[in-house]
């Protein structure tokens, strides 16, 4: 028997199904200011961060799990909507043939620079024109791993609230602050307070292991194929480079960000 606080959705043409599917499209996400996340682990991470979905969607053939029960109870107490769907209907929502048994609709976070507290953490990650949602999600995971304050996305980047980026973040979308800005807006904000801007660069740069990192340290990586514009590099306080001993002339943007983040962490951690 279905619990009284749950409702059943059975048809593909149900308006809720159409609404949920629309959130896979950036245009509709921006209009609704909502995004989709799927998977019990990811939604549990959100709950543990104090963030609950407005709508919780569960597959009818799901296996019982204490974390799912805790999630459902929390959403119910908060007054959220709880829906059950056949797996075939849920697959239409997530766009996956074998969807996980639970998904949620979350309100997008405030991504203005003004919401950031630069003193919150010694390290911040910054990406310019990052186009791959997988790389974006990976940078969020890196930020979580090194205790960064968050990820600042400069110029035209992939949408941090896309299903692909949220999935790739492995829950870090809920632990890391995310801000978006144009370059001029970002550099003006940065120079209003403390902050060392460090660029991953190939020219006139210091070896990344010898660089004098200073907190709060903003680690900047560029577009996957073009790198950083020269004017952006020129505006940085420090340019660092990583040795390339093989035939490749550069690292993946997200990998470069991770290497720099851990080096900065080692340099800035007390007692290092």
pLDDT: which is higher, 64 or 136: 136
What H or E segment, with its residue span, contains residue 152? Answer: strand 150-154
Domain limits, the chain: 6-107, 113-268
Percent of the chain with pLDDT over 90: 71
pLDDT, residue 266, reads: 94
- Which of 78, 40, 34 shows the shortest CA–CA distance to 58? 40
CB 236 within 8 A of CB 195: no
pLDDT, residue 96, reads: 72
- Read off the pLDDT of each residue in 141-146 and give the average, rounded to a whole number: 96
Percent of the chain with pLDDT over 70: 93
- What is the chain's mean pLDDT, rounded? 90
- What is the distance between the terminal CA atoms of the chain, rounded to a whole angstrom? 58
Confidence of residue 265 (pLDDT cuts 50, 70, 90): very high
pLDDT, residue 244, reads: 64
The conformation of residue 19, written as its DSSP 8-state character, comes to H
Q: What is the CATH number of domain 6-107?
A: 3.30.1330.30
Q: Say whether 5 sits in a helix, a strand or coil.
A: coil
Confidence of residue 13 (pLDDT cuts 50, 70, 90): confident
Residue 91 pLDDT greater than 90, yes or no: no
Kindly report which listed range (34-43, 81-90, 240-249) carries the lowest average pLDDT score. 240-249
pLDDT, residue 4, reads: 62
Residue 272 pLDDT greater than 60, yes or no: no
pLDDT digits (tens, 9 = 90+) for 166-194: 999 999 999 999 999 999 999 999 999 99
Structure tokens at 176: 């890391």
pLDDT digits (tens, 9 = 90+) for 216-259: 999 999 888 788 899 999 999 999 987 666 665 566 788 889 99
Hey, what CATH class is 113-268 in? alpha beta
- Read off the pLDDT of each residue in 52-57 and give the average, rounded to a whole number: 97
């Amino acid at each position: 028997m279905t619990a009284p606080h749950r409702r059943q959705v059975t048809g593909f043409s149900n308006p809720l199904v159409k609404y949920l599917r629309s959130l896979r499209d950036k245009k509709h996400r921006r209009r609704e200011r909502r995004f989709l996340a799927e998977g019990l682990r990811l939604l549990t991470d959100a709950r543990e961060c104090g963030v609950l979905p407005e709508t919780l969607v569960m597959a009818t053939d799901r296996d019982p799990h204490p974390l799912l029960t805790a999630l459902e109870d929390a959403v119910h107490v908060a007054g959220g909507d709880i829906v059950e769907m056949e797996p075939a209907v849920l697959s239409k929502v997530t766009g996956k043939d074998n969807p996980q048994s639970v998904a949620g609709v979350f309100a997008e976070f405030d991504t203005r620079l003004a919401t950031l507290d630069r003193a919150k953490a010694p390290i911040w990650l910054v990406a310019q024109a990052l186009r791959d949602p997988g790389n974006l999600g990976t940078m969020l995971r890196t930020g979580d791993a090194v205790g960064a304050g968050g990820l600042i996305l400069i110029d035209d980047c992939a949408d941090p609230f896309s299903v692909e980026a949220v999935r790739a973040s492995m829950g870090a979308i809920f632990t890391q602050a995310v801000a978006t800005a144009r370059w001029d807006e970002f550099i003006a904000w940065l120079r209003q307070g403390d902050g060392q801007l460090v660029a991953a660069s190939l020219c006139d740069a210091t070896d990344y292991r010898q660089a004098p990192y200073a907190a709060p340290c903003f680690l900047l990586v560029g577009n996957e194929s073009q790198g950083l514009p020269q004017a952006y590099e020129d505006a940085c306080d420090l340019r660092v480079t990583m040795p390339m001993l093989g035939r490749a002339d550069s690292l993946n943007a997200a990998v470069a960000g991770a290497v720099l983040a851990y080096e900065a962490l080692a340099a800035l951690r007390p007692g290092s």
